[in-house]
Structure 1
Amino acid sequence: MSIWRVILCIICPPLAVLDKGCGSVVITFILWLLGWVPGTIAALIIVNGDKKR
């Protein structure tokens, strides 16, 4: 996970997960609308989960 991806997760979580698929973007966007913190946490988990594959 690069520092730029982390910064993008903090600033605008849906943009950080664009390359992870439509479902990830939609879930992150909905959580981001409900509050900045849940969207950011979801984006960080999705981006960090990619490293384990």
Structure 2
Amino acid sequence: MPKGLYIVLAIFGLAWIAMGVMDNWSGSTWIINLVLTFLFWLPGLIHALVVMKNYY
């Protein structure tokens, strides 16, 4: 998945989908991001951008 698409998904609140695809839905990072996004959008965005370092 291109880095630009990952960032766009994070901005729109769908970073948990990008994390799930990158981890083949086996890790727990996408679940954490999903919870953070549902609580409030900004923590999910921050978490997605921090975790992005592991992928790129």
What percent identity do the matched residue pairs reach?
A: 24
The aligned length equals 51
Runs of at least 5 residues in structure 1 that lack an aligned partner in the other structure? none
Separation (CA, whole Å) in 2 of partners of 1:48 and 1:16: 13
Unaligned 5+ runs, structure 2:
none
Task: Work out which of the residue numbers 14, 17, 20 in structure 2 matches 1:15.
Answer: 17
TM-score by length of 1: 0.76
The Cα RMSD (Å) is 1.6
Answer yes or no: is 1:46 the counterpart of 2:51: yes
